[in-house]
A and B are shown apart, each in its own frame.
Chain A
Amino acid sequence: MKWSEAHLSDVLVIGAGLAGERVAIEAASRGHTVTILSLVPPRRSHSTAAQGGMQASLGNVAMGYGDNPDIHFEDTVKGSDWGCDQEVARLFVELAPVAVRQMAQWGVPWSRVVPGKRTLPDGVEVEELPEKAGLIAQRQFGGTAKWRTCFASDGTGHVLQYAMDSVVVKLGITVHDRAEAIALIHDGKECYGAVVLSLRTGELRPYLAKATVIATGGYGRMYGVSTNAVINEGTGMAIALDTGVVPLGNMEAVQFHPTGIVPAGILVTEGCRGDGGYLLDKNLHRFMPDYEPVKKEVASRDVVSRWMVHHMRKGYGVESPYGPHLWLDLRHLGEAHICTNLREVFTICANFLGINCVQELIPVRPTQHYSMGGVRTNIHGEAVGLTRLYAAGEAACWDLHGFNRLGGNSLAETIVAGMVVGEKVAEFVQEAPLTFPFSVVEDHLAAQAARIESLRRRASGSENVYELRKKMEETLLEHVGIFRTGEGLQQAVTTLQELYQRSQDLRLRSSGLGPNPELFSALRLPGMLRLALCIAQGALLRTESRGSHYREDYPKRDDVNWLKRTLATWPPGASMPHIDYEPVKITELPPGDRGYGTMPIK
């Protein structure tokens, strides 16, 4: 290895979504050198795709008056089905308003309160007061007691990411895009940085830092149908798992969003239902009030998704070449509303379905959407198991969301966690010396170089990367989805184990030279299969239902045995994860009834 090629900085942030950039800004503005890595230019990160909004208890709109952090806290804990860390939730709800307002100062054109009366689709009349004019507006999202979701027209994630990245540009923070961290450099105790693959040239280079932060987003793309961007392959979690000492928390907690369009899986925002959209079945019957008389379409995501699948199983789905689906009806909201506040939805329908949603129904079904699980950290974002390693955003299990994330709480989490973790990282690197054990760095680099070499030489192996990947996606979707059973999960584990074995035997069909997509996929696949096994095995062992994890053979939440967080580690050379547990921290709100989503599914 050429040491002259090593890249040095105080802080290495892996991931340029909202979480990674917010951490970087915090550390850089405190005087430290920061390098951000990303698979794609920062503004193309998955965060950009979020349409709906970001929760913060400002209490600016009529339906949100009286809102405060306590109510936001209660919603978050209930939403998590008591799976979250209450200390983290408390810190989060207090800081969310600060985060929203700071983003306003950085340039986000938040939609604002317009005084006057209007009638909501369900006939309720509301009046926005003149004294609130011009404050940040808020809309309704599922599972919240107040209207709390701040939004910018139809492109909240886009404007947040652009405003955030403009601060990164202003501060002159180094960004290396088309660069993938493929292994962490560590000695089992401390983390020293990462081995990084250039997606421009296929070359390897070590990035060394006093502190390394994983902010690589979720793993939606491991499922066959997902609302996630195609780069959300869980690689950040996979390299943490590969250390053998860093646990991943609650990997079995996988959220499905009620309204992915059929067949593409592209999401139409929860704002559709928040703003008054209905779900209809094949008889054009609005079925949600039958199951959830109070919350109807705006019950929590896990609840709505389950009722939808349940209703389709009872034969009320609309048949299509892509399997059954339901309808989302926005027509009664009117053209003016749809074409401003839901314009993104309008264009998605036009582009990908060829329909006009002002006049036509939208085909939808629940679709994989969010990974609550991730790199287990403490409240400061420090990874468990390795010092000098941190994690934030969807890649982390901080753990704000427990077993179900509330809509709008993720954008808020990325920024709040970015602030909190960034501060901690800055404090740490202030004191820490920049030292590296040379042999550890060389060993890690050599190991990765050897993997690439053997794939490029196509010396052995027979397996096709795309074929194995497709099987993994199908297995997760079929057996580790919305409804789970012991039998199905066992089958998933068996299949995934077999796929994992086969993935040790990949053979490229191309040369693998340069920016070669087949080589890049081949390097990722074994790690993805290890993650898949963590998800499936965690789900198999958890014999209860909590939040998005629903076991048909154990339909009740079981606080006596399962008020605990799953921790998965992967011992070196193992063929299965090691599963362990830790208690969930309850500080303010003892486990109780969620208040909805409790009707038995029959």
Chain B
Amino acid sequence: MAERLLTFSIFRYNPATPEIAPRMQEFQLDETPNMTLFIALNRLREEQDPSLMFDFVCRAAVCGSCGMLINGRPGLACKTLTQDLPDRITLMPLPVFKLVGDLSVDTGVWFRQLNENLEAWIHTDKDFDPKAQEERMDNALAQEIYEAERCIECGSCIAACATANMRADFVGAAGLNRIARFLIDPRDERSPWQVFEVVGTDEGVFGCIGLMACDDICPMEIPLQQQLALVRRKMAWAGLKGK
């Protein structure tokens, strides 16, 4: 591979020094083989500017911490190889979420709120009996639930979503996918109507204007379009049928 000199243009803002306005700052770095944005950003911080703020946890594309706009497109920085990018790389924080500083945004609080609003937990009246054998489940169904459960709440789909960028109360693809997960899980005893009361609105499933950027960019490649269709179908039906 030809040695490249990479130029990074990175969004900078420290809320502790509001007198310094948000700005783009340029850094340069020699590219090394198999370099990811995780490696690059850490080198920038350790060698050039120790105040640079960004979030990584697993650095293996499983925890969802490192969502950011990479040349304008939301994605996970830890699994983005610099070799797949031009030699000028622009990094911006995800929109929609509250900014912590530089590239770091507050996805945790946002998703906690979402999960509270969606009541995203198993609703059941059954008590747990520690002596009983587990209830059976078909493996195909377990895999189907897992397919929706794979979302890592990185926020990329929310950042890419036109509706979410316009209205703060929209649950977005991540929220609808989460609902799909509970709708197909027989352990959740909520009726479709009870779910309708949570998402059968413009903040929920009917707020989507169908641009489907979420489906294009999901770093986990969750079939969001399919999940959305499922929720729509069930919600339309529940809406018609009523209580």
Contact = CB atoms under 8 A, between A and B. Distances in A.
Interface stretch (B103-111, B194-202, B223-231): B103-111
Contacts of B120: 166, 169
A454 to B, nearest CB: 17
Given A105-B122, A109-B149, A513 B116 contact: no
Given A105-B122, A134-B137, A177-B108, A230 B79 contact: no
A48 B51 contact: no
Interface stretch (B2-10, B139-147, B158-166, B210-218): B139-147
A44 B108 contact: yes
A325 to B, nearest CB: 14
B45 A170 contact: no
A514 B101 contact: yes
A135 B133 contact: yes
Given A48-B63, A107-B187, A101 B134 contact: yes
Given A109-B137, A135-B134, 20 more contacts: A44-B65, A46-B58, A49-B63, A105-B126, A106-B121, A107-B122, A111-B139, A112-B139, A137-B139, A159-B149, A200-B100, A201-B15, A264-B34, A266-B60, A351-B79, A352-B36, A509-B50, A515-B16, A517-B45, A518-B51
Contact of A169 (B15, B63, B115, B132): B115
A539 interface: no
A105 B128 contact: yes
Given A105-B126, A202-B16, A263-B34, A158 B62 contact: yes
Interface string A104-118: 111101111110000
Interface of A: 40-46, 48-49, 58, 98, 100-102, 104-107, 109-114, 133-137, 152-153, 155, 158-159, 162-163, 166-167, 169-170, 175, 177-178, 200-202, 229-231, 263-264, 266-267, 321, 340, 344, 347-348, 351-354, 465-466, 508-511, 513-518
Contact of B121 (A107, A114, A340, A515): A107
Interface in B55-69: 55-65
Contacts of A153: 143, 146
Contacts of B191: none
Contact of B149 (A104, A111, A162, A231): A162
B180 interface: no
29 contacts: A40-B55, A41-B112, A43-B63, A43-B64, A44-B65, A45-B57, A49-B62, A102-B128, A104-B134, A105-B124, A106-B121, A107-B122, A107-B188, A109-B142, A109-B145, A155-B149, A166-B115, A166-B120, A169-B112, A170-B119, A263-B34, A264-B34, A347-B61, A348-B60, A354-B34, A510-B50, A510-B51, A514-B15, A517-B53
Contact of A229 (B58, B109, B138, B149): B58
Contacts of B62: 48-49, 155, 158, 344
B114 to A, nearest CB: 10
- What 6 A-B pairs are tightest by C-beta distance, nearest first? A514-B16, A41-B108, A134-B136, A518-B50, A510-B51, A166-B121
Nearest to A158: B62
Given A351-B79, A508-B50, A231 B134 contact: no
A229 B51 contact: no
A291 B98 CA distance: 55
Contacts of A133: 136
A352 B34 contact: yes
Contacts, number: 199
A201 B98 CA distance: 13
Contacts of A105: 122, 124, 126, 128, 135, 187
A158 B142 contact: no
Contacts of B149: 109, 155, 158-159, 162
Contacts of A230: 56-59
Contacts of B128: 101-102, 105
A132 B33 CA distance: 49
Interface residues of B, number: 65
A170 B57 contact: no
Given A109-B142, A166-B120, A517 B60 contact: no
Contact of A106 (B45, B64, B100, B122): B122
B122 to A, nearest CB: 4
A133 B142 CA distance: 13
A101 B58 contact: no
Nearest to A98: B130
Contacts of A347: 61
B69 to A, nearest CB: 19
Contacts of A162: 149
A52 to B, nearest CB: 13
A178 B134 CA distance: 37
A66 B115 CA distance: 41
Given A40-B108, A158-B152, A515 B101 contact: yes
A114 B153 CA distance: 31
Most interface-central of A41, A135, A170, A510 (chain B CB within 10 A): A41
A65 to B, nearest CB: 15
A43 B153 CA distance: 8
B50 A177 contact: no
Interface string B80-124: 010000000000000000001100101111011001100111101
Nearest to B48: A509
Contact of B132 (A41, A101, A511): A101
Contacts of B40: none
B150 interface: yes
